[in-house]
Every structure is written in C-alpha cells, then in structure tokens.
Amino acid sequence: MLMEQWLAQLIQNHNYWVYVIVAAASFFEGPILAMVCGVLYKLGLVPFTPIYIALMIGDLFGDTFWYCIGYYFGHPFIKRFGKYFSLTESAVASVTRIFHKYQNSILLISKMTMGLGFALVTLVTAGIVKIPFKRYISLNIVGQFFWTAFLMVVGYFLGNLYLQINGVLGALFVAAIIVVFFVGLVGWGKYMKEKMSKAVQ
C-alpha cells in the first residue's frame, strides 16, 4: 500500500511530466509499458484517456522515426549501422517481398502482431520502398489504436491479480506474468514471420 500511495502522490504532483515520460519511454518499449499502465489504471493511479494517448503518441513517433530512417538513409544506414539494430539486407529483402505481395495490409497486421517478429525491419522497409507517408501513418494509427488498447486491457486484468495478492509478492507476480506474456508475443511474432516468409518464397 505504501508503494501505491507514493505512486499516487508522484503522479498527482507531476501528472503532465508523467505523460511526457510515458510517451518518451513507449518509443523504446511500448508493449511492456502499455501493460504496466493498464495495471496502474486498474489501481486508480492514472486516468485512462491521457495515458492511452501518451502511449500511442510515443509508439507512433517511433514508427515515424524509423520510417524516415528507411526513406532518407535506406541501405547505406543498414550497411553501416544495421548490425546494432538487427537490421540486415536479407531481412529487408524478405520484408520487401512481403510488401509487394500483401501491399498495405502488412503494416496493419504487423502493428498488431509484434511486427511479425521483425517490427523494426518492417518500419524501415516501408520507408525504403517509399510507401506514401500519409497511408503509412494512417494504417499505423489504426493498428496502434487497437494494439495499445489490447495491451492495456491485459494490464488491467493483471491489476486484478495484484489486488488479490497485494504487497511485494503481488508486484513480483504481476511483473513475471508481464515478462512471460511479452516473451510469448515475441515468439508468436517470430512464428508469423516464418509463415509469411515461406508464403512469399
């Protein structure tokens, strides 16, 4: 309970900064943060709409950033810096083939399946193949709307578990479930990646 009171006081005193930090953090790790925010919402520590919008803005800013990397720097960036971001020419070639076959639907599907196991490559490739930005961001907004809501709902139900167990043990249990759920999503994304890669070969 002391931790909840401390968080409530912190958020109440610095609510705007909390939203800015959430938006910035979701640029790097949106899924886990969205589930955590779902837990906080269940506990009554954050309002739904502002935190939901902050999560979406941060994630969409990341989408825009990587699209611009692909659009303006493309293959030279991959050759020089790709190894630091698990970006390879072969991965880009695979995603390019998927784009040609599935066209714009790949962006919507990718957003809601952890990027089919290669989210960053999908975003960068969208820029490389010059998907019109208006279409690109529109599809990502639609996908983000449902994806963020889904993750917050997962966190909301984990908040129920926390309330039942409570204390440090409850916090650790919820954190463990979030990690396991995230790992499961990554595994599902990789499975989907293999399926789609075989489909376009």
**pLDDT for residue 6 is more than 60:** no
* DSSP annotation of 87: -
In which domain, by residue range, is 111 found? Answer: 2-200
Query: What's the predicted TM-score (pTM) here?
Result: 0.75
Where do runs of H (alpha helix) occur along the chain?
A: 2-13, 15-42, 48-72, 74-81, 89-102, 105-111, 119-128, 133-165, 167-200
* pLDDT value, residue 197: 53
Query: What per-residue confidence (pLDDT) applies to 200?
Result: 46
Q: What is the mean pLDDT of residues 93-122?
A: 71
Contact call for residues 24 and 58 (beta carbons, < 8 A): yes
CA 111 to chain centre: 8
Q: Per the structure block, which two tokens stand in for 18?
A: 């909390």
CA 182/CA 186 separation, integer angstroms: 6
Question: Does the structure show a pLDDT above 90 at 68?
Answer: yes
Total of domains in the chain: 1
Distance CA 42, CA 20 (A): 20
Q: What was the pLDDT predicted at 2?
A: 46
CB 144 within 8 A of CB 134: no
Burial class of 180 by CB neighbour count within 10 A (0 to 12, 13 to 18, 19+): exposed
- Rounded to an integer, the average pLDDT of 92-119 is 70
Separation CA 120–CA 98 (nearest Å): 15
26 CB contacts (<8 Å, ≥6 apart)? 33, 34, 54, 55, 57, 58, 59, 62
Q: How far apart are CA 133 and CA 123, in angstroms?
A: 11
In the chain, the percentage of residues whose pLDDT exceeds 70 is 71
Locate tokens 């938006």: which residue? 23
- pLDDT for 167-194, tens place per residue? 556 666 667 777 776 677 666 666 655 6
Q: Is the pLDDT of residue 70 over 90?
A: yes
With the C-alpha atoms ordered 138, 94, 84, 190, is the resulting torsion angle positive or negative?
A: positive
